[in-house]
Amino acid sequence: MAYHALAAVLLPLLAFVINGFLKGKASGWVSTIAILLSGVLAIIVFNHTFNGGTIHISRLWFTIGDTQLQAGVLLNNLSTILLLLVNLIALPVHIFSMAYMGHDQRYGRYFTCLSLFCFSMLALVVVDNMVLFYAFWELVGFSSYLLIGFWYKKEVAIQANKKAFIMNRIGDVGLLIAILVLYSQYHTFDLIKLFGEGGLISQSYIKDGMWIAPASSIPAVWQYIACVGVFLAVCAKSAQFPLHTWLPDAMEGPTSVSALIHAATMVAAGIFLLGRAFPMFNTSELDVLAIIGCFTAFMAATIALTQNDLKRILAFSTISQLGFMVMAMGINAYASSLFHLVTHAFFKCLLFLVAGVVIHEMQHVKDENHLDIDPQNILYMGGLRKRMPLTFIAAIIGGAALVGLPLTSGYLSKDGILIQAFEWADTKSAVYMTIPIMMIITSLLTAFYIARLIFKVFFGKLRVLDVKPAVLCHISDGGWQYKVPLILLSVCCLFPVFSLNPLLYEHSWVYRAFMSAEHLERMNIYHTIIPVGLNIMVVVVIYYAYAVYVQERKMLPFAQNNWAFDFSYHQWYFNKAYNTLFVKPVLALSGGLFWFDRTIIDGFISLLQNILLWLSKMADVFDRYVIDGFLHLITAIVQYIGNFVRSFQTGRVQYYLLSMLAVIVAWFIFKTLI
């Protein structure tokens, strides 16, 4: 079975390689067929392996020092279901893309990158050691980088992909540090040895400030650092506070990409990592997870309320839902979290594809009439339900699942999380009760913003006509490439796929796959009161939204220009804050260090150089004027004497005589006097 899984992983890689050499429209088919085959293999693997224990094969990759690095495939419930999930999401998106990107000049390049992403994502799911995990973790980020910046001439797009990659890199560094801490503690990268049943992690404990493992012990702080590292990685990939700001910007990529990567699969990788590394978190660390997740969910929901960009609303919705999952992990609702991951993937992907269809049609209108509008702005849309009925139905299903209305998959997973949140808060002090209450509020906000979105887009009248009344509107559901994925995903958003009982999440097979049987008892009142109460409130909220946006009653509780609106509209000013707090200081630091390099270090060197130069000049001066000067003086004296003596050699006999006489006289006088 492991080889089936391996083949499923490698097929998109094959497509990637083939597409690398291929030009033209064929690449779309290559990728789609590859993902289709991969999906078939994934189904086979799933059938054989799910709930069938762990399958693990590995081969020696390389040896470094005494450590042998194995590369292998690890299949358990978690990886198998994600393998299937990724394929199931990727297939409709591929089909959708063939139409959506059909007119792009770099069609082939798009599918090349898409295949690379699928390969990385599938591989990430099945690999069995931390090094490979990190490798594909980063490759996923890289392919996402390529796809966000696919329209590389768009300035915002390339800014966004840079931001995404760097944000993700922060997480990567955290993950790397965590992996290395684990390696230095346990001397292995193997996932099973580390996190498996009775693995090394479960054998180690913290005592007296030391983190004691079977083989070695290091200060306990490194356990926290490892956890923080993993958590940073999760935050980056799954767009949790404080590293969430890249995801809304990432919407600059093609919508199909947003559907696949930034809604369903890649962002889920963070949750997947949490699932893999779950054993290493202790209670207090889990509490932190819960708080962060809860905060993120709430924050993103409030931001989504005021956004006008169709995709941005969905992006914040994604952040919010991922917050739910992280919180679920934090409250030890491991199974619910993964369950929500699966259901969310389908309904969010569906919503994005709906958005894709709508945007595509709006773009069409824009191009046809040469309008100067943003095709993603919901303020220009409206009344589309009659023009694109299938899309409308899909949107309703997706929205319902997101809100968690009964009969949808979202109801099963989301209410499960909420119920367990209340149960969890019961066991803790009263302060912790704020978390489930916040989650309830977030759910209501979710209902409001998604209702706003659907009402703005599909109800009322087409507001483009306000801009230019005489536009030609050829708006429809599009071809089969649009319809098939929507239908496929809509079906997956309904309850029968996950559970035969539409009301009880505990009966879902996904939930059961991750939860041992004894937890399935309905122990308290929450199991009844929360779904009922929540759904009633949700319906009220949706009606309220209907009243505001469709019937256009003036019922908004606050005006559009007060501080709360601005705060929400500007996404809580995170971008500005990060820019001021991190980007600018780092740039300033680098500028300062460069100045230091040029001025101080180089200055020191050139100072030395100057000193040397000066010394040599001094030596030169000394040489020239003192030593040479001395010699010159001697020669000058000799020359002077010579010239002086020469002046006697007049050739005049009388002078000679005179001087001879002078000497004689002098001698005489000398003799006489002495």
Partner 1 sequence: MTAANILFDIMSFIALASALYVAASKNLVRSIFMFFVTLFALAGLYVLALADFVAVTQIVVYVGGILVLILFAFMLSGRETLDVLQQPERKVWKVSNLPALLIVGLLFVVLINVILKTDADHLGWVSDSIKSKNYIANSGDMTANIGINLMTRYLLPFEVISILLMMALVGAAHLSRKEQAV
Partner 2 sequence: MISLTHYLVVSGILFCIGLYVVLVKRNAIQILIGIEMMLNTAILNLVAFGRYDKLNNGGQMFALFAIVLAAATTAVALAIILNVYRRYKTIDPDKVDQLKD
Partner 3 sequence: MNLLTLLIFIPLLFGLLIAVLPSGWRNSFKYITLLATLVQLGISLQMYFQFKIGAANAGINNEGQFQFVQKLPWISLDLGTMGKMQIDYFVGVDGISITMLVMSALVMVVAAIASWEITKNLKGFFVLFLMLDMAVFGVFCALDFFLFYLFYELMLLPLYFLIGMWGGARREYAAIKFFLYTLFGSVFMLLVMVGLYLSVKDPATGSHTFNIIQMMNPANYDANSIFSVVNHQTIFGFPARTVGFIVLFVAFAIKVPVVPLHTWLPDAHVEAPTPVSIILAGVLLKIGGYGIIRICAGIFPDVAVSGSFVIGLLGVISIIYGALNALAQRDLKRLIAYSSVSHMGFVLLGIASLTAEGISGAVMQMVSHGFLSSMLFFLVGVIYTRVHDRDIYNFRGLGTMMPQFTVFVMIGFFASLGLPGFSAFIAEAFTLAGAFKSTSINGLLPHWMAACGALGILLSACYFLWTLQRMFFGTERLKGGEQWKHALKDLNWREKSALVPLALMALLLGVMPSLVFGKINDSVLALVSFLQHK
Enumerate binding residues for partner 1 (CB under 8 A).
654, 658, 661-662, 664-665, 668-669, 672
| Of 362, 396, 397, 390, the residue nearest 484 (C-alpha) | 390
Residue 651 as a binder of partner 2 (CB under 8 A): the answer is yes
Residue 119 as a binder of partner 3 (CB under 8 A): the answer is no
x/- letters, 200..219, toward partner 3 (CB under 8 A): ----------------x-x-
Instruction: Please choose, out of 419-427, 458-466, 473-481, 591-599, the segment that lies near partner 3 by the rule CB under 8 A.
Output: 591-599
CA atoms within 13 A on the CB side of 7: 14
Distances (CA, A) of 84 to 18, 88, 315, 590: 24, 6, 24, 46
Residue 181 as a binder of partner 3 (CB under 8 A): the answer is yes
In the complex, least distance from residue 654 CB atom to partner 1, rounded to whole angstroms: 8
| Of 378, 565, 400, 375, the residue nearest 456 (C-alpha) | 378
In the complex, least distance from residue 254 CB atom to partner 3, rounded to whole angstroms: 16
| Of 70, 121, 68, 74, the residue nearest 93 (C-alpha) | 121
Residue 598 as a binder of partner 2 (CB under 8 A): the answer is no
Q: What residues have CB less than 8 Å from 325, skipping those under 6 apart?
A: 238, 268, 271, 293, 337, 340, 341, 344, 417
Residue 222 as a binder of partner 3 (CB under 8 A): the answer is yes
Comparison of 58 and 332: residue with beta carbon closer to partner 3: 58
Judged by CB under 8 A, which of 105, 562, 649, 672 binds partner 2? Answer: 649
Judged by CB under 8 A, which of 17, 18, 43, 169 binds partner 3? Answer: 169
Q: How far from the centroid of its chain's Cα atoms is residue 7's Cα? A: 27
Comparison of 156 and 660: residue with beta carbon closer to partner 2: 660
Instruction: Please choose, out of 332-340, 446-454, 592-600, 616-624, the segment that lies near partner 3 by the rule CB under 8 A.
Output: 592-600
Judged by CB under 8 A, which of 17, 173, 440, 473 binds partner 3? Answer: 173
Distances (CA, A) of 176 to 137, 185, 206, 229: 10, 14, 22, 8
Comparison of 59 and 474: residue with beta carbon closer to partner 3: 59
In the complex, least distance from residue 641 CB atom to partner 1, rounded to whole angstroms: 21
Instruction: Please choose, out of 168-176, 242-250, 294-302, 656-664, the segment that lies near partner 3 by the rule CB under 8 A.
Output: 168-176
| Structural contact between residues 456 and 549, judged by C-beta atoms closer than 8 angstroms | yes
Comparison of 595 and 640: residue with beta carbon closer to partner 3: 595
Instruction: Please choose, out of 77-85, 180-188, 260-268, 395-403, the segment that lies near partner 3 by the rule CB under 8 A.
Output: 180-188
Q: What residues have CB less than 8 Å from 448, skipping those under 6 apart?
A: 305, 541, 542, 544, 545
- Name which of partner 1, partner 3, partner 2, none residue 185 binds, using a CB cut-off of 5 to 8 Å depending on partner kind: partner 3
Residue 183 as a binder of partner 3 (CB under 8 A): the answer is yes
- Name which of partner 1, partner 2, partner 3, none residue 646 binds, using a CB cut-off of 5 to 8 Å depending on partner kind: partner 2
Judged by CB under 8 A, which of 468, 522, 576, 646 binds partner 2? Answer: 646
Phi, psi of 207 (to 5 degrees): -145, 130
Instruction: Please choose, out of 71-79, 100-108, 582-590, 649-657, the segment that lies near partner 2 by the rule CB under 8 A.
Output: 649-657
Rounded Cα distance, 274 and 227, in Å: 10
In the complex, least distance from residue 643 CB atom to partner 1, rounded to whole angstroms: 20
| Structural contact between residues 11 and 38, judged by C-beta atoms closer than 8 angstroms | yes
* Token pair listed for 279: 């054993």
Residue 67 as a binder of partner 3 (CB under 8 A): the answer is yes
Question: Helices 266-277 and 310-330, interaxial angle, to 10°?
Answer: 0
Judged by CB under 8 A, which of 53, 59, 103, 153 binds partner 3? Answer: 153
Residue 325 as a binder of partner 3 (CB under 8 A): the answer is no
Question: Could you give the maximum distance between any two Cα atoms of the chain, in Å?
Answer: 153
Rounded Cα distance, 570 and 575, in Å: 9
Name the CA radius of gyration of the chain, rounded: 38
* Token pair listed for 560: 């559009």
Residue 594 as a binder of partner 3 (CB under 8 A): the answer is yes
Instruction: Please choose, out of 62-70, 622-630, 635-643, 652-660, the segment that lies near partner 3 by the rule CB under 8 A.
Output: 62-70
What is the dihedral angle through the alpha carbons of 558, 561, 564, 566, rounded to the nearest 10 degrees?
150
Comparison of 577 and 663: residue with beta carbon closer to partner 1: 663
- Name which of partner 2, partner 1, partner 3, none residue 652 binds, using a CB cut-off of 5 to 8 Å depending on partner kind: partner 2
Query: Facing residues of 408 across strands?
Result: 494
In the complex, least distance from residue 672 CB atom to partner 2, rounded to whole angstroms: 15
* Token pair listed for 592: 């300062």
The enclosing H or E element of 334 equals helix 334-369
Phi, psi of 127 (to 5 degrees): -65, 160
In the complex, least distance from residue 646 CB atom to partner 2, rounded to whole angstroms: 6
Judged by CB under 8 A, which of 661, 663, 664, 669 binds partner 2? Answer: 661
- Name which of partner 2, partner 1, partner 3, none residue 651 binds, using a CB cut-off of 5 to 8 Å depending on partner kind: partner 2
Residue 152 as a binder of partner 3 (CB under 8 A): the answer is yes
* Alpha helices (runs of H) in 187-333, residue ranges in sequence order: 191-195, 200-203, 221-237, 246-249, 255-259, 266-277, 283-304, 310-330
| Structural contact between residues 165 and 261, judged by C-beta atoms closer than 8 angstroms | no
Residue 193 as a binder of partner 3 (CB under 8 A): the answer is no
Instruction: Please choose, out of 198-206, 539-547, 625-633, 648-656, the segment that lies near partner 2 by the rule CB under 8 A.
Output: 648-656
| Structural contact between residues 237 and 270, judged by C-beta atoms closer than 8 angstroms | yes
- Name which of partner 3, partner 1, partner 2, none residue 649 binds, using a CB cut-off of 5 to 8 Å depending on partner kind: partner 2
The DSSP call for residue 470 is: T
Judged by CB under 8 A, which of 379, 631, 657, 669 binds partner 2? Answer: 657
In the complex, least distance from residue 672 CB atom to partner 1, rounded to whole angstroms: 6
| Structural contact between residues 256 and 96, judged by C-beta atoms closer than 8 angstroms | yes
Preceding amide of 531 cis, omega within 30: no
Burial letters for 338-366: b for 16+ Cβ neighbours within 10 Å, e otherwise?
Answer: bbbbbbbbbbbbbbbbbbbbbbbbbebbb
Judged by CB under 8 A, which of 21, 24, 59, 66 binds partner 3? Answer: 66
Burial letters for 418-445: b for 16+ Cβ neighbours within 10 Å, e otherwise?
Answer: bbbbbbbbeeeeeebeebbebbbbbbbb
Comparison of 560 and 649: residue with beta carbon closer to partner 2: 649
Q: How far from the centroid of its chain's Cα atoms is residue 567's Cα? A: 24
| Of 612, 408, 385, the residue nearest 495 (C-alpha) | 408
Instruction: Please choose, out of 165-173, 303-311, 313-321, 544-552, the segment that lies near partner 3 by the rule CB under 8 A.
Output: 165-173
- Name which of partner 3, partner 2, partner 1, none residue 138 binds, using a CB cut-off of 5 to 8 Å depending on partner kind: partner 3
- Name which of partner 3, partner 1, partner 2, none residue 21 binds, using a CB cut-off of 5 to 8 Å depending on partner kind: none
In the complex, least distance from residue 667 CB atom to partner 1, rounded to whole angstroms: 10
Comparison of 597 and 628: residue with beta carbon closer to partner 3: 597
* Token pair listed for 375: 């095709």
Question: Would you tell me which residues interact with partner 2 (CB under 8 A)?
Answer: 646, 649-654, 657-658, 661
Question: Would you tell me which residues interact with partner 3 (CB under 8 A)?
Answer: 61-67, 131, 134-136, 138-139, 142, 149, 152-155, 158-159, 161-162, 165-166, 169-170, 172-173, 176-177, 180-181, 183-185, 187, 216, 218, 222, 225, 586-587, 589-591, 593-594, 597, 601-602, 605, 609
